[in-house]
Structure 1
Amino acid sequence: MELLKDDERLDYLLAENLRIIQSPSVFSFSLDAVLLARFVQIPKSKGHIIDLCSGNGVIPLFLSARTKAKITGVELQPRLHDMATRSIAYNKLEAQIDMQLGDVNDAPKTLGIEKYDAVTCNPPYFLANELSEQNANEHYAIARHEIHLTLEQAIEASSRLLKQGGKAAFVHRPGRLLDIVTAMRANRLEPKRIQFVHPKRGKEANTLLIEAIKDGKPDLKILPPLYVYEDNNEYTKEVRALLYGEQQ
């Protein structure tokens, strides 16, 4: 199997000692994926985790360093699915990670209802009609805009996939917080943990991490804020630890 195609490159996931195939013209993961993969609470050994909107498989790869549980990724775009599959093979993780090509909306029917212990999802952030935000690149447009998957659909699919007591974790924009909570509660998901991510101290949060439990009891914890950059524009020690495995 050919490892790299077109303008692809092999990047390091330093903290996990893994490699990942990326492409500037097709898909490259962002800090949001790192944050979500470290935020979610997952079983350490047994169980089954599913990642929706997997892109090039970055979150399954990150999660594989934290657990021995089985991991399934779901990605709609064949090119991204292909990149993810080759990355998994390069890291010799085929026995743990399985990438499925398909629509998140179909995942409960095709992959199993109430089968999973945890769901992660880094969904499209922007509404389909937010044309000013749309990227001309089709791959990025689908990944970033609700063209094929809305927030509500992602949350509904997550709930159907989860076992009772299972955990669903999302990364999104703070402006959608109420939409997320409303949709979660309409689908038997009770928000339990929220963390706001700020570019710098004194700046408004621009990223939201939220985890819910299926059929959980109301008891929401707001975690301490996470700051990405110091005033000198270098990563904070907390983010360096996430990215590079440096000790805090």
Structure 2
Amino acid sequence: MQVRIYDNERVDDLQYKGLKLIQKKDGFCFGVDAVLLANFADVKRGAEVIDLGTGTGIIPVLIAGKTEARHVTGLEIQEEMAEMASRSVSMNGLEERVKIVCGDIRNHSRLFGSSTFDVVVTNPPYMNQGGGLINLSDTKAIARHEILCTLEDVISAASKLLKPGGQMAMVHRPERLVDILCLMRNYKIEPKYIRFVHPSPYKKANLLLIKGSKGGRPQLKMMDPLYIYDEKGNYSEEINRIYCRGMENSWGDGKHGN
């Protein structure tokens, strides 16, 4: 389908089943964290999925391409980002399986009701807002800082939106792990799996992937670490498998994003 591409935008070929994504040339772009999350989530055939804070729409597009989910919703508060993500959905002919909704996570009940989804995925802002003024029209700042929503807003919404036994999958920073675990327990999402992501062997983790079950029994499993690069500085075999190719020049370079 032909969609409009503006002068400040580019079209990136995801090199997977012909999928493409519209991104701003000078705006927030997806990174390896979004790709890892889309791969990490357990999305079964016929599942209803929602991505909280979808940004460019990369995660719904990838989940629709990689799984047999019945439908994937992307929720994005920034109107301009949501409109761009909707055009990416149309470009890929996914209108029947993916919908981008412009709205506030804190209005989740009004938008979607409760106990609606089998899977909630989220790549939320990693950093506390802290001091200083931040331009609310700065899409990069909004994607990286807890300006328009907090970690608690995201986990609270996930808990309300999930069906009993449903799964939440999140990518975040290791330094926020205690906050994540406490909030998940507080909102009845039992942490089940944690996987730390390292730039390479012998370097400390800079991302974590975590999955939890709504109303699940306590049992936390630590998964093997995931390395982006091997000891020789090449992309690891697992990263190559996740990206479904030799990695060169597609699905982002891991240097963009949060």
**For this structure pair, what is the TM-score category when the shorter chain's length is used for normalisation?**
over 0.9
Output the CA distance in 1 between the equivalents of 2:3 and 2:59: 23
SS state of the match for residue 177, structure 2? helix
Question: 2:55 maps to what in 1?
Answer: 55
- Is contact 2:197-2:205 (8 Å) kept? yes
- Runs (4 or more) in structure 1 with deviation over 4 Å come to 134-137
Greater Cα offset, 20-29 or 46-55:
20-29
Question: 1:39 maps to what in 2?
Answer: 40
Query: Any unmatched runs of 5+ in structure 1?
Result: none
Question: 2:83 maps to what in 1?
Answer: 82
How far is the alpha carbon of 1:47 from its aligned partner?
2.7
Written as runs of structure 1 = structure 2, the 5 A alignment for 1:227-238 is 227-238=227-238
- Is contact 2:43-2:69 (8 Å) kept? no
SS state of the match for residue 243, structure 2? helix
Question: 2:161 maps to what in 1?
Answer: 161
Counterpart code for 2:90: A
Identity between Structure 1 and Structure 2 (%) = 40
Output the CA distance in 2 between the equivalents of 1:17 and 1:221: 35
Greater Cα offset, 230-239 or 83-92:
230-239
Question: 1:139 maps to what in 2?
Answer: 139
- What RMSD over aligned residues (CA atoms) do the two structures have, in Å? 1.9
Distance 1:129 1:16, change over 3 A: farther
Q: Report the TM-score when normalising by structure 1.
A: 0.93
How far is the alpha carbon of 1:68 from its aligned partner?
3.5
- Is contact 1:15-1:242 (8 Å) kept? no
The answer to whether structure 1 residue 222 and structure 2 residue 222 are counterparts is yes
Written as runs of structure 1 = structure 2, the 5 A alignment for 1:200-215 is 200-215=200-215
Question: 1:73 maps to what in 2?
Answer: 74
Aligned residues: 245
How far is the alpha carbon of 1:131 from its aligned partner?
5.5
SS state of the match for residue 62, structure 2? helix
Query: Any unmatched runs of 5+ in structure 2?
Result: 248-258
The answer to whether structure 1 residue 20 and structure 2 residue 48 are counterparts is no
Question: 2:104 maps to what in 1?
Answer: 103
How far is the alpha carbon of 1:136 from its aligned partner?
9.6
Greater Cα offset, 8-17 or 141-150:
8-17
Output the CA distance in 2 between the equivalents of 1:232 and 1:144: 31
Output the CA distance in 1 between the equivalents of 2:3 and 2:18: 22
